[in-house]
Amino acid sequence: MSALDCPSPACDARRKAGQCLCWDCWDALPGPTRRALGIRDELATARLQILHRELAAAVPPHEIEINL
Ligand SMILES: [Zn+2]
């Protein structure tokens, strides 16, 4: 798995440099989740870890909620 593969196991697209997901998976995230991931503060890393943990657990992107 290259560093630029989309982290969603169900997806073989490539993410863009500086993006955490490919565009398709990003678009599939619920709006509040996208907004939460866009916040750059001391919890940003924790939010990203939740995203990756959910993806690794095969949670579909449209069901991932991040409430930090
Ligand atoms: Zn993807």
pLDDT in tens, the chain (68 residues): 567 899 998 899 999 788 889 999 999 999 999 999 999 999 999 999 999 999 999 999 999 999 98
Distance 28 CA to ligand 1 centre (A): 9
Distance 48 CA to ligand 1 centre (A): 15
The residue among 9, 3, 6, 7 whose CA lies nearest residue 58 is: 9
Tell me 14's DSSP state.
Answer: B
Distance 27 CA to ligand 1 centre (A): 9
Question: Which range marks the domain in which residue 1 is found?
Answer: 1-68
| Number of domains into which the chain is organized | 1
CA 6 to chain centre: 9
Q: Which residues surround ligand 1, an ion (CB under 5 A)?
A: 6, 8, 11, 13, 22, 25
Please report which residue ranges of the chain form alpha helices under DSSP H.
Answer: 23-28, 31-38, 44-56
Dihedral sign for Cα atoms in the order 58, 63, 64, 65:
negative
What pLDDT score was predicted for residue 45?
A: 95
What pLDDT score was predicted for residue 2?
A: 65
